Chain A
Amino acid sequence: MHYHLMPLFAVLFWCASVAAAAAIDVKAAVLRVDYPSLLPISRYDLRPDDLGFSGAMLADEDNGTTGSFLGHTYDTAHVAVPPEEADAALEQILADGTRLIVVLSNAEDLLRLSDKAAEAGALVFNARAPDIALRDDQCRGNLLHVTPSRAMNADAVAQFAVWKKWGDWFLVAGSNPDDIALADAFRRAATKFGAEITEDRTFEDTGGSRRTDSGHVLVQRQLPLDTQDADDHDVVIAADESDYFARYLSYHLWDPRPVMGAGGLRPVSFHGAHEAWGATQYQTRFEVLTGRYVQPEDYDVWLALRVIGEAVTRANTAEPDGVRDYALSDAFELAAFKGQKVTFRDWNGQLRQPILLYDGSITVSVSPQEGFLHQVSPLDTMGLDRPESRCTAFE
């Protein structure tokens, strides 16, 4: 009998001591879909096994420290599956009673998983898919986007080019669907900010030119030929989400020009050398925890879980609707080591945020650039603005 009594007393006492803040145990999950993929051009871009999950571990620590003063606990499950097991994995997460789910997958899987999660009343955070349609006519009311869209990334690059007065662009696009989608985002950005694409070419993916076996010898001969006779341009904009050529462009062009986009200066949500605005502490915490540098997916997952933590801390709720409503409300704001608060666009669920322009070594610049003004927030000069988005799920 007394075996049962002790824990009961402990629970009662604990409840009383945090009664003011109402104890909440926050359960979340990170579902990562691992697609078969080729090796990246650079070894630095190899995907670690704990990609994304490490961001979740750090978020649980950060949220948990805050929660320790309020009687809130955080426990996030990590699930990595091949695409054919994604649906079953989601069902298991839902069966475990979890209703706050961060998903790293492509757009097609994300939409299907989000709709399935909606049936169970769950809230989903997109931490990988940059597709514009997800923020446009394909948006979902239970799907919030932490990862920047292709439009935001392209606009971030375009603003920097325009600020530099590099108004004439040579666009080099890959031939795979994601490359084509990114090239479209750059064309849209050029129109939006008054740049001109003086040369528009496709670099066919023929399956060659990987890094091993002296790939650089072929690249050094081929790329100048592929980029010769282009109309006058100030900068080369590379659209290569498949990662098969853009990294090679710098130093191998016919005309010596800076490269931006998928090679050279790249738009990222975060990187392991970012130090401004207190980010050094974030890097230190992450490295102590994981023994490696942070990648954008880790940061995006961390940020998604910090959004949840903020809702729990400020609005005292871990219910999917409560978190969503708080995140979309005017009261929501979050510091994210980017120099200003990040908030959500209440018309399509996209997180507004500065975009870092990264050369593989340092933060070269941060967009939005000076002089790009907006009636609501300079951050809304990047991505789909309210009048542009056809999303109605948040109305």
Chain B
Amino acid sequence: MKSLFLSTALAALIAGPALAGKAFVSNERGNTITVLDTETWEVITEFPGGNRPRGITVSPDGTKLYVCASDDNIVKVFDTSTYEELPSLPSGPDPELFVIEPSGKRLYIANEDDNLVTVTDTETRTILAEVPVGVEPEGMGISPDSKFVVNTSETTNMAHFISTEDYEIKHNVLVDQRPRYAQYTADGSRLFVTSEIGGTVTVMDIDADGAPTVVGKIGFEVPGVQPEWLQPVGAKVTSDGTRLFVALGPANRVAVVDAQSLEVLDYILVGQRVWQLDFTPDEKYLLTTNGNSNDITVIDVAAEKAIKSVQVGQQPWGVVTIE
């Protein structure tokens, strides 16, 4: 009896704070960040995230949370354990989405209103460069070797490949209408670009020099759902490169795609207006932000099934997780 009690207590201790991962959700309308425990899926807290928080990411060591406060024209920074606000980063006007390089030093920010990508040094908190891109820059992806940042421009309909060495655009690839998101595979050999209004995902193979070649296009079809509502937005690919998950916006579904054959395998029903996605660090779960139902859906990645939804703040937009 005693030993049972002891071992239970011990187990609780071990399974306690040390393993509890967290998810941070930016709530675009609510101007807050919701923090969730990724073991229990309980909401831990909600704190102010600036005006119109959208893009959200963390430093590689998981200690700092970066948030595009779009209407404040800055990137807000928070401590991921205390939620204390740290000095902000300059972002240029209307930052929407950004990507951090694996070293954590540079942040590449899409300025939606100014047709620019701003490069910000996270240590000196200064702007290193402004790169002119197409109209309404949005999606931001970075190659795993950090040599290229890909920006998608929603009205120009291009993926711009920006060299991180000289901040010059080296390649422009036309994609379908309103490209929203760019996602490399972990080995850097492939790039997926979602097109919201085009209703497609453009697939590019990336050669050793980082140059893209369009090799295919993924389309979507769900019986009973008008094709107009199948609008690809957020996308994530598993680190082994086998599965691509694509958020389909107002279709309220996440598509499961074989990332090799590009065949769509399944559609997982989630909340309303599914927008962005992120895996938990162990890739056991995929979280989706559902802007119109004000919740997130937790998808079991191996089973490819939705297992839970959790209410968060008003109009959740982006999500990022830490261990």
* Contact for B197 among A65, A70, A281, A340, CB less than 8 A: A340
Nearest chain-A residue to B158 (Cβ)? A69
* Interface assignment of A341: CB less than 8 Å from any CB of chain B: yes
A278/B136 in contact, CB under 8 A: yes
Nearest chain-A residue to B226 (Cβ)? A378
Our count of residue pairs bridging A and B at CB distance below 8 angstroms stands at 64
Expressed in whole angstroms, the minimum distance between the Cβ of A152 and any Cβ of chain B is: 17
* Interface assignment of B172: CB less than 8 Å from any CB of chain A: yes
Binds A, one of B174-182, B237-245, B313-321: B174-182
Per-residue CB proximity of A266-285 to B under 8 Å, as 1/0? 00000000000010010011
* Contact for B115 among A65, A314, A334, A340, CB less than 8 A: A65
* Interface assignment of B112: CB less than 8 Å from any CB of chain A: yes
Q: Given A66-B134, A313-B174, A335 and B154 touching (CB < 8 A)?
A: yes
* Contact for B112 among A281, A288, A333, A378, CB less than 8 A: A281
A65/B134 in contact, CB under 8 A: yes
Measured in the bound complex, the distance between the Cα atoms of B228 and A62 in whole Å is: 24
Expressed in whole angstroms, the minimum distance between the Cβ of B55 and any Cβ of chain A is: 15
* Interface assignment of B113: CB less than 8 Å from any CB of chain A: yes
A284/B113 in contact, CB under 8 A: yes
Expressed in whole angstroms, the minimum distance between the Cβ of B278 and any Cβ of chain A is: 22
B198/A65 in contact, CB under 8 A: no
A281/B113 in contact, CB under 8 A: yes
Measured in the bound complex, the distance between the Cα atoms of B197 and A334 in whole Å is: 8
Q: Which A residues from 277 to 298 make CB contacts under 8 A with B? A: 278, 281, 284-285, 288
Expressed in whole angstroms, the minimum distance between the Cβ of A77 and any Cβ of chain B is: 22
Sort chain B's interface into a size bin: 20 to 34
Interface of B is mostly: loop
Q: Which B residues from 153 to 191 make CB contacts under 8 A with A? A: 153-158, 160, 169, 172, 174, 176-178
Cβ–Cβ < 8 Å partners of A70 in chain B:
172
A340/B158 in contact, CB under 8 A: no
B134/A335 in contact, CB under 8 A: no
B198/A333 in contact, CB under 8 A: yes
A333/B177 in contact, CB under 8 A: yes
Q: Which B residues from 194 to 244 make CB contacts under 8 A with A? A: 196-199, 226, 228
Measured in the bound complex, the distance between the Cα atoms of B226 and A364 in whole Å is: 22
Expressed in whole angstroms, the minimum distance between the Cβ of B220 and any Cβ of chain A is: 14
A65/B135 in contact, CB under 8 A: yes
B178/A278 in contact, CB under 8 A: yes
B226/A341 in contact, CB under 8 A: no
Per-residue CB proximity of A350-390 to B under 8 Å, as 1/0? 00000000000000000000000000011000000000000
* Contact for B169 among A66, A69, A288, A314, CB less than 8 A: A69
Cβ–Cβ < 8 Å partners of A314 in chain B:
174
Per-residue CB proximity of A175-194 to B under 8 Å, as 1/0? 00000000000000000000
A278/B154 in contact, CB under 8 A: yes
Per-residue CB proximity of A113-155 to B under 8 Å, as 1/0? 0000000000000000000000000000000000000000000
Measured in the bound complex, the distance between the Cα atoms of B63 and A132 in whole Å is: 63
Q: Which A residues from 52 to 75 make CB contacts under 8 A with B? A: 61-62, 65-66, 68-70
Measured in the bound complex, the distance between the Cα atoms of B177 and A378 in whole Å is: 19
Cβ–Cβ < 8 Å partners of A61 in chain B:
135
Expressed in whole angstroms, the minimum distance between the Cβ of A311 and any Cβ of chain B is: 13
* Contact for A378 among B94, B132, B153, B228, CB less than 8 A: B228
* Contact for B177 among A69, A288, A341, CB less than 8 A: A341
Expressed in whole angstroms, the minimum distance between the Cβ of A263 and any Cβ of chain B is: 30
Measured in the bound complex, the distance between the Cα atoms of B196 and A122 in whole Å is: 33
B154/A340 in contact, CB under 8 A: no
A66/B135 in contact, CB under 8 A: yes
* Contact for B134 among A69, A278, A284, A340, CB less than 8 A: A69
Which 3 A-B pairs rank lowest in CB-CB distance, beginning with the nearest? A335-B197, A335-B177, A66-B156
Q: A278-B136, A341-B198 given; name 5 further pairs at CB < 8 Å.
A: A66-B155, A278-B154, A334-B177, A340-B197, A341-B199
